[in-house]
């Protein structure tokens, strides 16, 4: 079958993230991974589709489920594994771990384990950039669990008042830990966003990296053109438990059949041809990155007093 170059590129990037996460799942029962992990399995297409429309100088403020966006935006893989292993060669010298990833050279600003806490950071950075007449945009990436946080509402208001070039990007997997939106939200998100005078976009096909790329480009281009805020919700699904490598269907808060419907549409599962074409190359890269992390030094006692 013939594929366009952009389809193959996005497939490769999404599969790379999926296989990185699967390697983490493999390693996690050992003591190599030194922090809790919130996996992006099932949500890879959102990250690669959106980041395909971003420039290096654009900043994205990721959240604690940030592996996919870190990798899609160009964060280096060897330092990623070293960071998860708590090694000195990690992106943050082993002090950040999975939930606080950052890679400023690639425009990946520090994540936080506190829900919604980086939304205001993106708005503030965008305001300073606008004052300086810089030609870049800022992405505030968060899950639907952040929509009930006060800082989210405050940030919408501030961004609208001061016309900051921010894309509010909600990865909506319908869950905050084990609670679906129907148990948490009494409001219409679109009506709420529009009430602040912010345009609202939505992508339902969060499993399709090509559609995410094409449709998110409309919202991203509008941020660049208007130099003001835009809201984009992308519906997606997380295949694994809230935190950790396992599946949690026995917890009773969701049905396996709901995830199976997404998997039936997942190109990383359905397209065996490209999976097999790219698998070995990606596996070799991952194995080298893991070896880099394993062979790196751990911090010592003196390192406790640096970077504070």
Q: How do residues 281-290 score in pLDDT, each as one tens digit?
A: 999 999 999 9
- 233-275 pLDDT tens trace: 999 999 999 999 999 999 999 999 999 999 999 999 999 999 9
Residue ranges and CATH numbers for the domains of the chain are 5-237+245-297 (3.40.50.970)
- Whether residue 1 is predicted with pLDDT greater than 80 in this model: the reply is no
What is the value of pTM for the model shown?
Answer: 0.97
Q: In the predicted model, is pLDDT for residue 308 greater than 90?
A: no
**DSSP states along 210-272:** HHHHHHHHHHHHHHHHHSS-EEEEEE----S-SSSSS--GGGSSS-HHHHHHHHTT-HHHH-H
The answer to whether residues 52 and 58 touch, using CB atoms and an 8 Å cutoff, is no
User: CA-CA distance, 10 to 36, in Å (whole number)?
Assistant: 28
Average pLDDT, the chain: 97
Q: CA angle 112-124-140, nearest 5°?
A: 50
Q: Please state, in angstroms and rounded to a whole number, the distance separating the CA atoms of residues 67 and 37.
A: 9
Question: Residue 207 is encoded by which pair of tokens?
Answer: 């499993």
Percent of the chain clearing pLDDT 90 (strictly above): 97
CA 307 centroid distance within chain: 25
pLDDT, tens digit (0-9, with 9 covering 90-100), for 167-179: 999 999 999 999 9
108, pLDDT greater than 90? yes
- In percent, the amount of the chain with pLDDT more than 70 equals 100
């Amino acid at each position: 079958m013939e594929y366009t170059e952009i389809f193959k590129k996005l497939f490769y990037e999404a599969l790379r993230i999926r296989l990185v996460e699967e390697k983490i799942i493999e390693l996690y029962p050992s003591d190599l991974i030194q922090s809790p992990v919130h996996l992006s399995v099932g949500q890879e297409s959102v990250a690669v589709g959106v980041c395909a429309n971003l420039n290096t100088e654009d900043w994205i403020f990721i959240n604690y489920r940030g592996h996919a966006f870190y990798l899609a935006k160009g964060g280096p893989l060897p330092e990623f594994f070293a960071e998860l292993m708590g090694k000195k060669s990690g992106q943050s010298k082993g002090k950040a771990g999975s939930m606080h990833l950052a890679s400023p050279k690639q425009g990946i600003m520090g994540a936080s384990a506190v829900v919604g806490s980086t939304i205001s950071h993106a708005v503030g950075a965008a305001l300073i950039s606008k004052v300086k007449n810089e030609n870049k945009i800022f992405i505030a990436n968060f899950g639907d669990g952040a929509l009930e946080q006060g800082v989210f509402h405050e940030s919408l208001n501030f961004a609208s008042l001061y016309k900051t070039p921010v894309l509010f990007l909600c990865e909506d997997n319908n869950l905050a830990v084990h609670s679906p939106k129907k148990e948490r939200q009494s409001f219409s998100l679109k009506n709420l966003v529009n009430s602040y005078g912010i345009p609202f976009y939505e992508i339902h096909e969060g499993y399709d990296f090509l559609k995410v790329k094409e449709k998110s480009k409309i919202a991203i281009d509008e941020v660049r053109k208007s130099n003001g805020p835009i809201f984009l919700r992308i519906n997606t699904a997380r295949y694994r438990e809230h935190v950790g490598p396992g599946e949690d269907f026995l917890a009773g808060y969701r049905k396996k059949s709901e995830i199976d419907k997404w998997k039936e549409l997942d190109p990383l599962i359905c397209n065996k041809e490209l999976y097999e074409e790219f698998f070995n190359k990606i596996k070799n890269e991952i194995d080298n990155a893991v070896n880099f992390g394993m062979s790196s030094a751990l911090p010592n006692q003196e390192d406790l007093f640096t970077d504070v």
